[in-house]
Structure formats: structure tokens, C-alpha cells
Structure 1
């Protein structure tokens, strides 16, 4: 069962897609690198790309650790919520940045759930290893 790996690869692919869209927005705006301001449309796409990168740093390890200790199908399903949340965030941020809350929450909540499950699982495994029971 490679559900976790598939979701991780989809998340990286999504980030790369947002990067390509950022490059396209730069070309359309005639904004020369390394500038990141001067075109509102570029700046919005750039922020989507950077926010996605910021979230990936937490999402990927939480997904892999939780997926190793918990039911991988359920962890992959939580990962799907993250992916959908990123697309909602992107659409909202491009049209009206103040409407990004739903997409952000559909990104943040799966990360928090995965991280909590990962921490719980690892701590439980360590306690079991040392024969500590509560």
C-alpha cells in the first residue's frame, strides 16, 4: 500500500505546479527577477507558492510518521483534505486574499491532526519499548 507516498508526491507536484504558475505570472507581468513586488497578480501567486512551501515543511514529515504508525488509508485521506485545501486556498487568494480562510484551515487542520497522531504514536511506541504503561 503506497497511499502515503502517492499523497506526498501529489503534494510536491502541487507545489511545483504553483511554482510554474508563479513563473508564468512573472512573465505576464514583465517583472524582472529578483523583484517580488510591483505586480499585484504576481505577488498573489508568489504568496500562494511560498505559503505552500511553508506548509509542506510541516505536512510531509507529519504525513510520513503518522502513516507509518497509523492506518495509511486514513492518513492518506487526511492528506487528500490538505491537497484540496491548498487548491481552495490558491483560488481564494488569487481572487480575493481576504477570502483564503477556508483553504488555509483545510490545510492547517490536517497538518495538526497528522502531527498529533504522529507524536502520539511515536511516544506510545517509545513507552511500549521501555515497558512503561499508564
Structure 2
């Protein structure tokens, strides 16, 4: 279980690759020439999924690191898997119908919030212990 957070990081990289691939595929399928970032609604959704996932990852990875660093290795890994599952759900839902992305978003936020709580508790404990 010590390696679970590392597996979560690997899965996060794969998730980023998947969203990048979806954008590239949509760009070709709908003939959206670079550097354009809009055009066909399906391309626009793929592009937003990629950017939203990247933005969320910027908050997720430090929270994962903090929770892991301060001793919540197993639970940080579990929360990280929850975040991954939520982001995958979010991506597939958004690609199909943007109005259905809310469930995946909320699951991902629960995973992230759990990591933030663990990181804050661990940091607080470390401050008190000196």
C-alpha cells in the first residue's frame, strides 16, 4: 500500500494523456485547424475536458503529496483513486453531454477535499509537535 499514491500519480498522467488524445482526435475529426480552440461543439467539449482536468490536477497533486507526506499514505491513495474515478466519470459525461458532468465533478471534489483535510491535519500535527 506504500506505493498506492505513486500509482495514483501514474494514473493521473494517463488521465492527462487521455484528455490530450481526445482533443487531438476531435481536432482531426472535426477539422479544427491549430491554433483554433473552438469550432464544433464536440471539439469544444473535448477541449474543455482537457483544460478542466489540467486545472483540477494542479490542485490535486499537491494535496495528494501533502496527505502522503504527513502519514496518510493508504488513505491518500484511496482518496486519490476516488479523484481519478470522479475525473474519468466527469470526462466521459462531459464528452457526451456537458449538462451531465456534475456527478463526476462532485466525486472528484470529494476525493480532493479528503486529501486537503488529511494534508491540513498532518501539517497541523507537525506544527504542534515542533
> CA-to-partner distance for each residue in 1:69-94, whole Å, 9 max, x for gaps?
23312211111111111111011111
Aligned to 1:38: 39
> CA-to-partner distance for each residue in 1:41-93, whole Å, 9 max, x for gaps?
11000111101001001110100110122331221111111111111101111
Alignment TM-score, normalising by the size of structure 2: 0.94
Aligned to 1:114: 115
Q: Distance in 2 between matches of 1:66 and 1:74?
A: 8
Q: Distance in 1 between matches of 2:115 and 2:99?
A: 27
1:71-110 to structure 2, matched below 5 A, reads 71-110=72-111
Coordinate RMSD, CA, aligned: 1.0
Aligned to 2:59: 58
Q: Distance in 2 between matches of 1:73 and 1:87?
A: 21
- Number of residue pairs matched? 129
